[in-house]
Structure 1
Amino acid sequence: MNVGSVMNLGYEKILLMQNPLNMESSNVIATFVYEQGLLEAQYSYAAAVGLFNSAINAVLLIVVNKIAAKLGDSSLF
């Protein structure tokens, strides 16, 4: 179940530790969505990026579930 949230990091800590010197290397998808959606007011673009992130998480969850079903007796569905 935790594989579905592998791309969701604790963006609050990353956002609080960002400064102009480390902005290029510390930008992750969650902080990018925050910046584009709330600071730049590009709501549709931020929603599309967030939806893409959720779709990747769902695909990862389904793939790991298929692998778990083949290797063992238990799976989610």
Structure 2
Amino acid sequence: MSVPGAANMPELDLRDLAAPEPLLRALEAADALAPGACVSVLTPLLPYPLLAVLVERGLEADAEALPEGGARVRIGRPRA
């Protein structure tokens, strides 16, 4: 899945937080997105529970493992 506007999105580094903070903060950032907006979050690992919740909320998301550890998750809210 491709998140539109990925080239210019802000990035939130959540890798140093203890669970469940990365999940909660990523959801807060996703909930705050306006239609057509996106955000990138860095997490300590591939966040399968986060991805499932984002899809349930109608958001677009994709994730990639990072070579140095953790993952980058791109989250977008579709335009209305």
Measured against the shorter chain, the TM-score band is under 0.3
TM-score (norm 2): 0.26
Larger-gyration structure (1/2): 1
TM-score (norm 1): 0.27
Instruction: Name the one with the larger strand percent.
Output: 2
